[in-house]
Amino acid sequence: MADVKNVTAAKPKVGGAVYSAPLGTELPKDAVTPLNEAFKALGYISDDGLSNTNSPDSDSVKAWGGDTVLTTQTEKEDTFSYTLIEALNVDVLKEVYGADNVTGTLEDGIVIKANSKELPSHSIVVETILNGGVLKRVVLPVAKVSEIGDITYSDGDPVGYEITMQAMPDSDGNTHYEYIKKGA
């Protein structure tokens, strides 16, 4: 039976919604356990929020005469897209350019090296609050930046880094996990 109480929107958790940590960091297994301290908050995300594309692609085989007789799944990419808008946050810059390519602090001066070095895989956690204080945590055990959008510098908009993150299978074959629990 339909129930309007099951309809929800998602808001970012206070203090940040997207967290990044090196591969091998202990991952959460529920929606409420505090994150390992290795997870770094990536700050504010643009008001476009977070988008997850998790749809299979398939090929159809047709018989003579046009009937579809077989459909096979050819791939199932799982990607997450969002725009990081804290352009002065060193952890954001490391996410975009790679930890080895960003040094310093805002106070001492930050140096960014833009190059073609491949960005390493790492883990991502996304934390949101649903209607009624329900907590939702999405965990990408193995994630890799697969695309970075154009960086625009203008008077009226924040400098943002549009990121597409490819979620890759872990040792169990899962690309991401979702944990949902009613808050305290």
Q: How many Cβ atoms are within 10 Å of 127's Cβ, its own excluded?
A: 24
Contact 125, 39 (CB under 8 A): yes
Mean pLDDT, rounded, for 139-151: 95
Q: What is the pLDDT of residue 132?
A: 85
CA distances (Å), origin 59, targets 54, 55, 70, 77, 169: 17, 13, 8, 15, 22
CA–CA separation, 122 and 126 (whole Å): 13
Tell me which of 91 and 4 has the higher pLDDT.
91
Q: What is the pLDDT of residue 2?
A: 76
Q: What is the pLDDT of residue 65?
A: 78
Residue 76 has pLDDT above 70, yes or no: no
Residues 6+ apart with CB under 8 A from 22: 38, 120, 122, 123
Residue 74 has pLDDT above 60, yes or no: no
Question: Tens digit of pLDDT for each residue in 19-67?
Answer: 999 999 999 999 999 999 999 999 999 988 888 887 666 667 777 877 7
CA–CA separation, 169 and 176 (whole Å): 8
Q: How many Cβ atoms are within 10 Å of 12's Cβ, its own excluded?
A: 16
Mean pLDDT, rounded, for 126-133: 89
Contact 57, 43 (CB under 8 A): no
